A and B are shown apart, each in its own frame.
Chain A
Amino acid sequence: MSGNPVLQLKGILKEYPGIRAVNHASLELMPGEVHALVGENGAGKSTLIKIMAGVVRPDAGEIWLNGDQISIHSGSDAYRLGLSFIHQELNLVNYLSGAENIFLGRPYPKTSVGTVNWKKLYRQAQEILDRLGVHVPVNIPVCRLSRGDQSMISIARAFAGDAMIYVMDEPTASLTDEEIRNLFKVIEMLQSKGAAILYVSHRLEEIFEICNRVTVMRDGNVIATHPIEQINQSEMIRLMIGRKMDETVPPPEAEIGEKVFEVKGLSGHTVSDINFSLHKGEIVGLAGLVGSGRTDILRIIYGADPISTGELNLFGGNYLPKTPAKAIQNGFVLVPEERHSQGLVLGRSILENITLPSVGRLSHKGLFLNRKREQKEGKITSQAVRLKASSLQQKVGQLSGGNQQKVVFARWMIEDPKVLLLDEPSRGVDVGARYEIYKIIREMAARGVAILLVSSDLTEILGLSDRVLVMREGKMVKELPAKGLTQETILRYCYGEEK
């Protein structure tokens, strides 16, 4: 990390109707540095990245590359100039192979007669994946790969060229710990070759682990750039949210009561022989690596995936979920993993999203809408979750990630659930809103709801849970009391080091 900056953004300005997404932001990338870019959702990180990728044109400001002023009008400009991106979304073409996806938009290797040299293409793709230390088949359509493998393909794409500048937007969001290690190794290798890396992540531990400098953005402004040694986590959070706040999880307020729900010998989809129980007011964490079957358990209980064998008991009575509708009737509700594709109807209003499951019950005789009653319930629940919005008629798609998630929670408060199933409840939610989500979860527990929490964030699992269940390869391998439990212990069970 020395010499002149490879990339300089100077006074970048981008306005959208009503908001200044990026306000005269300046940023420098030095060769051989990993530069973290942090900030709450909506701080302007994504817009800045889009400007570098040529997706969005800035209203003002300059971009300098190796001492020359440049302009980036398109993705191919960015590629030609040696910028490579890992975007948050997968952006894969489903029916093309992994290798084709990796080389998408790049020249394919050719044979002497000018046709595609498939052998070489597959080999080159394989080499990139080897460097990432993963074994993903490159010659089958990506839609047949698991979600984790798909994100590896999408990451591998960034390494297909010989770029000297890499921009990575939440690259580790759906990776396992091992995959994250390998990615970090690749980053280190690139760094030693003198490449500059701009690294965006909500996971602050990662930033302290691999980054040299950190730039904090808030409300479109670059607040500060610090060498990583000169800042600590709470200071970074303070800069991000602009006010003092500790990121701890709120303390429990619920009393654990009678047994609500019991699962005996459950099998289906990728999981088998699952046994556990949930009690009133209890939060049970479900830990495990991506693909260990955590989500499948939730989906089976919720009636979204079929059950092959096993017995489910609700308050001692038999419970057989056939559809989500049936599950909801029985008091089960789910906050799904993918807020956008599974949780919300983004084009409709906040109110319609809140009353989505309950609209029938709130109506006149199940037939005609009762807008007054909907409005009343919507108002009560949106206040209960401390939703920030201009009105309940605002479209959900216009809200920040944290507020969108609050809408999902508000929806289920109307139902007065017995069992709350949470799948990655704070994913893509910024630090401030995350604390509020935790508070909502605590409040639900205090009302006597039994909560099953799936999360890849072990801090979250440890902070919230009364008990932790560990999944590994479709089996439930261990039940651990949360008291005195450490991340290391959980991980040892996740990886099968301890049985």
Chain B
Amino acid sequence: MSQTEMVIKKTKNRIDVGDWLRKWGTLVGFLTLIVVFSVLRPDAFPSYRNLRNIVEQAATLAIVASTVTLVMVTGDFDLSVGTLASLSGVVVADLMTRGLGILPSVLIALAVGGLGGLINGVLVSYGGLSAFVATLATMTAYGGLALLYTDGATIFSGIPEGFRWFGQSSLGPVPVPVLIMVIVVGLAWLVMEQTVFGRRLYAIGGNAEASHLAGINVRQLRMFSYVLSGIGAALAGIVLTSRLFSAHPQAGNPFMLNAAAAVFLGATAFREGEPHVLGTLLGVFIMGVLGNGLNILGVNSYIQSILTGAIIVAAVLLSGLSSRKRS
């Protein structure tokens, strides 16, 4: 049998600036941010304490964002992660105040997240609703459930001290939320890059019809990605509740927009416009560093939001422009 012919392209020797930027531009932007803040506030920004603070604050978002990446890889959307995190947060707090043990409460709250994700998945995969419509509806409903559950109140008292472990303690030098983040992000990466399931999710995102005809059970896998996203949201809600040591029925809501922003930012890094877990983590840290640095510089938080928006547009635009030039 003849050998596969190798057609080697001569131009590979020349470094394409556009290609290089598209791959590394986002990371370069992130490092630039760090350098700029370090130069502007050498006393406050680059300290161990502050950097540790940034990572610790980013941990909850990183948990949701890395699991919602699984859904976004398939080309879908999960708008419900914010309110689902809020719902799980009030559920875990309420169960503990009613005297249930910490571990069973946490497990039930995770199950609530999984169930919420399952409902999303069923609606999208088997109900034929678009991901946007389905999760917009469940986002609203889960948010309402959280408010209904606590009657709009914040749960302060009656949370056992031991629950502080998830959000406020450290194992050696490592804060537990960061540890949880590392585990969740690591697992999400492992699932996406090293397992058959992850490979199939990427294939579905690339071409669902072709994947179906290649024998992939598209509906089931898509549904499963929503379940994982729901569990991730619940875990973030639990850690957040522990950090705040109180449960507000809307505390987790901002996760949705921030997680989506992180995934979009991350999709511009390393690879061509495809969501992936490490990119998402970078996206989370870009937003974390930006928020922290601007805080230290005393920039008004409203302006921070505007800047975050501008940076997302800039990142996507730059990567999009260079890919358009190609075609």
1/0 contact string of B1-38 vs chain A (CB within 8 Å): 11111111111100010000000000000000000000
**B1 surroundings in chain A (CB, below 8 A):** 383-384
**A388 surroundings in chain B (CB, below 8 A):** 4-5, 7
Do the beta carbons of A341 and B209 come within 8 Å of each other? yes
**A411 surroundings in chain B (CB, below 8 A):** 214
Do the beta carbons of B214 and A341 come within 8 Å of each other? no
Contacts A325-B215, A356-B211, A368-B196; A390 near B203 (Cβ below 8 A): no
Do the beta carbons of B211 and A360 come within 8 Å of each other? no
Instruction: Give the complex CA separation of A342 and B81 in angstroms.
Output: 32
A389 located at the interface, meaning its Cβ lies under 8 Å from any Cβ of chain B in the complex? yes
Do the beta carbons of B196 and A366 come within 8 Å of each other? yes
Instruction: Give the complex CA separation of A367 and B195 in angstroms.
Output: 6
Main secondary structure of the interface of A (DSSP, over half): loop
Q: Which residue of B lies closest to A338 (CB)?
A: B209
1/0 contact string of B166-190 vs chain A (CB within 8 Å): 0000000000000000000000000
Interface residues of A in 352-368 (CB under 8 A from B): 352, 356-357, 359-360, 363, 366-368
Do the beta carbons of A341 and B196 come within 8 Å of each other? no
**B214 surroundings in chain A (CB, below 8 A):** 324, 328, 356-357, 411
Q: What's the nearest-Cβ distance from chain B to residue A188, in Å? A: 36
B199 located at the interface, meaning its Cβ lies under 8 Å from any Cβ of chain A in the complex? yes
Do the beta carbons of B213 and A342 come within 8 Å of each other? yes
B217 located at the interface, meaning its Cβ lies under 8 Å from any Cβ of chain A in the complex? yes
**B6 surroundings in chain A (CB, below 8 A):** 390-391
Instruction: Give the complex CA separation of A347 and B211 in angstroms.
Output: 13
B206 located at the interface, meaning its Cβ lies under 8 Å from any Cβ of chain A in the complex? yes
Q: What's the nearest-Cβ distance from chain A to residue B169, in Å? A: 33
Number of interface residues of B (CB under 8 A): 35
1/0 contact string of A386-412 vs chain B (CB within 8 Å): 111111000000000000000000010
1/0 contact string of A1-45 vs chain B (CB within 8 Å): 000000000000000111000000000000000000000000000
**B200 surroundings in chain A (CB, below 8 A):** 359
> Which listed residue, A304, A336, A367, A389, touches B4 by the CB 8 Å rule?
A389
Do the beta carbons of B215 and A368 come within 8 Å of each other? no
Do the beta carbons of B213 and A368 come within 8 Å of each other? no
Q: What's the nearest-Cβ distance from chain A to residue B299, in Å? A: 39
Q: What's the nearest-Cβ distance from chain A to residue B193, in Å? A: 8
> Which listed residue, A334, A347, A368, touches B206 by the CB 8 Å rule?
A347
A375 located at the interface, meaning its Cβ lies under 8 Å from any Cβ of chain B in the complex? no
**A286 surroundings in chain B (CB, below 8 A):** none
Do the beta carbons of A336 and B213 come within 8 Å of each other? yes
Instruction: Give the complex CA separation of A138 and B275 in angstroms.
Output: 41
B41 located at the interface, meaning its Cβ lies under 8 Å from any Cβ of chain A in the complex? no
Instruction: Give the complex CA separation of A363 and B200 in angstroms.
Output: 13
> Which listed residue, A302, A345, A386, touches B210 by the CB 8 Å rule?
A345
B194 located at the interface, meaning its Cβ lies under 8 Å from any Cβ of chain A in the complex? yes
Do the beta carbons of A345 and B196 come within 8 Å of each other? no
Do the beta carbons of A343 and B210 come within 8 Å of each other? yes
Q: What's the nearest-Cβ distance from chain B to residue A25, in Å? A: 21
Do the beta carbons of B3 and A324 come within 8 Å of each other? no
B78 located at the interface, meaning its Cβ lies under 8 Å from any Cβ of chain A in the complex? no
> Which listed residue, B9, B11, B199, touches A359 by the CB 8 Å rule?
B199
Q: What's the nearest-Cβ distance from chain B to residue A422, in Å? A: 13
**B226 surroundings in chain A (CB, below 8 A):** none
**B212 surroundings in chain A (CB, below 8 A):** 304, 324
A60 located at the interface, meaning its Cβ lies under 8 Å from any Cβ of chain B in the complex? no
Interface residues of B in 190-237 (CB under 8 A from A): 194-197, 199-200, 202-203, 206-207, 209-217
Q: What's the nearest-Cβ distance from chain B to residue A381, in Å? A: 10
Q: What's the nearest-Cβ distance from chain A to residue B75, in Å? A: 11
**B4 surroundings in chain A (CB, below 8 A):** 379, 382-383, 386-389
Do the beta carbons of B11 and A356 come within 8 Å of each other? no
Q: Which residue of A lies closest to B3 (CB)?
A: A383
A369 located at the interface, meaning its Cβ lies under 8 Å from any Cβ of chain B in the complex? yes
A323 located at the interface, meaning its Cβ lies under 8 Å from any Cβ of chain B in the complex? yes
Q: Which residue of B lies closest to A392 (CB)?
A: B4
A491 located at the interface, meaning its Cβ lies under 8 Å from any Cβ of chain B in the complex? no
Contacts A324-B215, A368-B196, A386-B2; A342 near B210 (Cβ below 8 A): yes
**B202 surroundings in chain A (CB, below 8 A):** 345, 348, 352
Q: List 21 A-B contacts (CB under 8 A).
A: A16-B326, A304-B212, A323-B217, A324-B213, A327-B215, A328-B215, A341-B207, A342-B209, A342-B210, A343-B210, A345-B203, A359-B196, A369-B195, A369-B199, A386-B4, A386-B5, A387-B4, A388-B4, A390-B7, A391-B6, A411-B214
Interface residues of B (CB under 8 A from A): 1-12, 16, 194-197, 199-200, 202-203, 206-207, 209-217, 272, 274, 326
Query: Across chains A and B, which 10 residue pairs bring their CB atoms closest together, nearest first?
Result: A345-B206, A18-B11, A325-B215, A328-B215, A356-B214, A357-B214, A345-B207, A357-B215, A347-B206, A388-B5
Q: Can you name 6 extra interface pairs (CB under 8 A) apart from A324-B215, A352-B202, A389-B7?
A: A324-B212, A336-B210, A345-B207, A369-B196, A386-B2, A411-B214
Interface residues of A (CB under 8 A from B): 16-18, 302, 304, 323-325, 327-329, 334, 336, 341-348, 352, 356-357, 359-360, 363, 366-369, 379, 382-384, 386-391, 411
